[in-house]
Amino acid sequence: MNQKQNFDKLTQFLERKIVGQKGLINRLLIALLADGHLLVEGAPGLAKTRAIHMLGQGIEGDFHRVQFTPDLLPADITGTEVFHPSDASFRFQKGPLFHNLILADEINRAPAKVQSALLEAMAERQITVAGTTWTLPDPFLVMATQNPIEQEGTYHLPEAQLDRFLMHVVVGYPSAEEERLILLLGRKEAMQEVTRDRPPEQPVVSSEQIRAARREVLEVYMAENVEKYLLQLIMATRQPERYGGALAGSIAYGASPRATLALDRCARAHAWLAGHDYVSPEDVQNVAHDVLRHRLLLTFEAEADGMTSTHVINELLSLVAVP
């Protein structure tokens, strides 16, 4: 079985377990294939926690949830040296970050020191405690969530730190039909819990298969004109005045080179998951919002006019010529 078939089985498993969030499932798999991290924003109860928990059941790896609170300390997530009286020695006790899949629930409720410790681990894939460097497991994926409803008692993530996330995904409510399917799934799982009727063995994608799939994603062909299109989108965020219209004067700071790399990796992963052996402009457009949403800093005038980064990206995609 090739790697694409393995990921097709994983996708089918996740779509059976999570109803109404196909977009989030797709973005989770893209992040896994592109070796990046997700920032997910959505109201409570939209299966954000369930999505990454089910992904942990579908791959060879473990899952850990960390509830971010104002009293959290960096050592609570990285780990710390613990004194053992029996031999009067200090030994390092690993924290929650030493798992393959991390849910950083409501990351904006923790103070800056904790956010920085997490983001450093995300970028370096290692942590240093008491002069000793510890390597984090592979694969290592962080899904951080933000609640858009309550903003009291939260700590805003600085724009420079937001750039560390591969994508910023906004999750919406399911449709009426999807809500009905969620109801049926909830009843079925409740009955299984009561009767202790265990579901059959779940599909597991090994760490080696994930690495092999990542190699295949990197080999997906991207034509020169598609690559130029991708670069033109990034350059348009830095020189919006060249395109006029609503784009001119809307962007204070454009996307960084990290955005270019992210757009390339995500477009390749999107094409690969769709079963294509080449990247099309549609693949680039499909992931553009999630890759650029948190990387554009709008001008005061644009915000005063009620514009959002979504509006700006829509304008961007309409103005840059498609090959």
- Provide the residue-wise pLDDT of the chain in tens; the chain has 323 residues: 478 899 999 999 998 888 888 999 999 999 999 999 999 998 888 888 889 999 998 998 889 999 988 888 888 998 887 877 877 777 778 889 999 999 999 888 888 888 888 888 888 898 887 778 889 998 999 999 987 776 665 667 777 778 889 999 999 888 888 888 888 888 887 777 766 666 656 678 999 999 999 999 999 999 999 999 999 999 999 988 888 767 778 888 889 999 999 999 999 999 999 999 999 999 999 999 999 999 998 888 888 888 888 999 999 999 898 98
* Burial of 218 (C-beta count, 10 Å sphere; 0-12/13-18/19+): middle
Residue 139, preceding bond cis, omega within 30 degrees? yes
Give domain status of residue 227, yes or no.
Answer: yes
Phi and psi of 252, rounded to 5°? -85, -40
Q: Which residues contact 293 (CB under 8 A, 6 or more apart)?
A: 167, 168, 170, 309, 310, 313
Q: Are 112 and 252 contained in the same domain? A: no
> Residue 58 sits in a domain of what CATH number?
3.40.50.300
Distance CA 102, CA 141 (A): 6
Q: Which residues contact 64 (CB under 8 A, 6 or more apart)?
A: 96, 99, 101, 102, 103
> Residue 283 sits in a domain of what CATH number?
1.10.8.80
Give domain status of residue 43, yes or no.
Answer: yes
Q: Are 66 and 183 contained in the same domain? A: yes
Distance CA 19, CA 193 (A): 19
Q: Are 178 and 117 contained in the same domain? A: yes
Provide the whole-model pTM.
Answer: 0.91
Q: Are 142 and 258 contained in the same domain? A: no
Give domain status of residue 158, yes or no.
Answer: yes
Instruction: Give, for 321, the enclosing helix (H) or strand (E).
Output: none
Q: Are 296 and 176 contained in the same domain? A: no
> Residue 277, Cβ neighbours under 10 Å: how many?
10
Give domain status of residue 232, yes or no.
Answer: yes
Range of the domain at 262: 220-319
Distance CA 32, CA 3 (A): 13
Distance CA 308, CA 315 (A): 11
Looking at residue 218, its pLDDT comes to 94
Q: Are 153 and 253 contained in the same domain? A: no
Q: Are 187 and 224 contained in the same domain? A: no
How many domains is the chain built from?
Answer: 2
Give domain status of residue 252, yes or no.
Answer: yes
Q: Are 64 and 158 contained in the same domain? A: yes
Task: Please answer whether residues 244 and 38 qualify as being in contact, where contact means their C-beta atoms are separated by less than 8 angstroms.
Answer: no
Looking at residue 198, its pLDDT comes to 63
Q: Are 228 and 182 contained in the same domain? A: no
Give domain status of residue 243, yes or no.
Answer: yes
Give domain status of residue 211, yes or no.
Answer: no
Q: Are 16 and 114 contained in the same domain? A: yes
Taking each helix axis as running N to C, give the angle between helix 257-273 and helix 207-218, from 0 to 180 degrees, rounded to the nearest 10.
110
Q: Are 166 and 302 contained in the same domain? A: no
Give domain status of residue 200, yes or no.
Answer: no
Distance CA 109, CA 284 (A): 33
Q: Are 136 and 13 contained in the same domain? A: yes
Of 175, 192, 209, the last residue of a domain is 192
